[in-house]
């Protein structure tokens, strides 16, 4: 079956493409680099010709409130309209846990707007809300730095390895539409400030992490429910400390 992966050259997309090709599917890795642009619609209709499934894992190049909303709304409308025209039977989209409950965050508002476009379309769909990727812990830590200290919320997260995200997306893409939301998370809950300490220790970085309940994450304060899944998420198998050890060994 032909599957088009929007954002197919990125961190998650490239892994999903490889997994689906390994299962014998005809997979098109679609991105501006390969001549497919969901904002301008360049190459979009051609890419979707004959496609049974579209997996959308593209992300906005800017996280500024106005820009990120415009990206997800414009790309979402263009992509869904092209899918209707092409007769696509299953739209799989990667979203984020917390998109529906953190309206102070411009990024979360934009992801929720993307979800609503999908839910209101005529295309059978599966929305996969994932927790934060292990690979982003370093950037989150850096963004909270202030000289020798880093201030982060002690709220619980349940982060997940990108390999586990890609594996779940590939399985869902090859299956039937859920016509609903599937939650995806890592195997353990860890406070955000502790994640940063583990990351810094693995990198030999001596900066001090301060737990601050008022520290903002993408523009919003957090509590233990903000970014953690409900009672029945799909769970990845890779633990953060195991991933850190392997990443440090490769480096």
Residues 117-148: tens digit of each pLDDT: 999 999 999 999 999 999 999 999 999 888 89
Mean pLDDT throughout 13-19? 98
Helix (H) or strand (E) holding 105: none
Angle CA 185–188–189, to nearest 5: 90
Angle CA 219–216–236, to nearest 5: 95
Asked whether the predicted pLDDT for residue 240 surpasses 90, the reply is: yes
For the chain, give every domain's residue range.
2-250
- Write down the pLDDT at residue 147: 87
Mean pLDDT throughout 99-117? 96
The residues, ordered by sequence, that sit 6+ positions from 41 with a Cβ below 8 Å of its Cβ are: 78, 82
| Calpha distance 229→31 (Å, rounded) | 30
Mean pLDDT throughout 184-209? 96
Please, are residues 44 and 75 in contact by the beta-carbon 8 Å criterion? no
| Helices 106-119 and 65-86, packing angle to 10 deg | 20
Mean pLDDT score across all residues of the chain? 96
| Calpha distance 193→36 (Å, rounded) | 39
Residue identified by tokens 């859920």 is: 178
| Calpha distance 199→107 (Å, rounded) | 24
Mean pLDDT throughout 144-165? 95
CA atoms 177, 188, 14, 82: torsion sign: positive
- Write down the pLDDT at residue 250: 77
Residue identified by tokens 């106005």 is: 66
- Write down the pLDDT at residue 251: 67
Mean pLDDT throughout 4-24? 97
Candidate CATH numbers 3.30.43.10, 3.30.70.1140, 3.90.650.10, 3.40.50.720; the one for domain 2-250: 3.40.50.720
Torsion of CA 115, 111, 227, 188, to 10 degrees: 70
Asked whether the predicted pLDDT for residue 36 surpasses 70, the reply is: yes
Please, are residues 209 and 148 in contact by the beta-carbon 8 Å criterion? no
SS3 category, 128: strand
| Helices 162-173 and 11-22, packing angle to 10 deg | 50
């Amino acid at each position: 079956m032909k599957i088009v992966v929007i954002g197919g050259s990125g961190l998650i997309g490239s892994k999903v493409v490889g997994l689906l090709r390994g299962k014998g599917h005809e997979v098109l890795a679609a991105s501006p680099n390969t001549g497919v642009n969901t904002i301008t619609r360049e190459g979009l209709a051609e890419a979707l010709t004959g496609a049974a499934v579209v997996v959308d894992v593209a992300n906005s190049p800017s996280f500024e409130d106005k820009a990120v909303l415009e990206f997800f709304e414009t790309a979402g409308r263009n992509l869904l309209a092209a899918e209707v025209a092409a007769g696509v039977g299953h739209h799989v989209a990667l979203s984020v846990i917390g998109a529906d409950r953190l309206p102070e965050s411009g990024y979360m508002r934009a992801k929720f707007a993307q979800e609503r476009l999908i839910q209101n379309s005529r295309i059978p769909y599966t929305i996969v809300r994932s927790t934060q990727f292990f690979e982003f812990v370093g950037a989150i830590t850096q963004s909270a730095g202030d000289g020798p200290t880093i201030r982060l919320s002690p709220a619980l997260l349940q982060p997940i390895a990108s390999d586990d995200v890609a594996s779940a997306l590939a399985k869902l893409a090859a299956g039937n539409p859920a016509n609903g939301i599937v939650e995806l998370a890592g195997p353990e809950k860890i406070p955000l400030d502790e994640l940063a300490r583990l990351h810094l220790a693995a990198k030999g970085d001596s900066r001090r992490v301060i737990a601050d309940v008022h520290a903002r994450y993408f523009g919003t304060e957090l509590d233990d429910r903000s970014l953690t899944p409900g009672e029945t998420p799909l769970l990845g198998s890779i633990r953060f400390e195991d991933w850190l050890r392997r990443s440090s060994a490769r480096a």
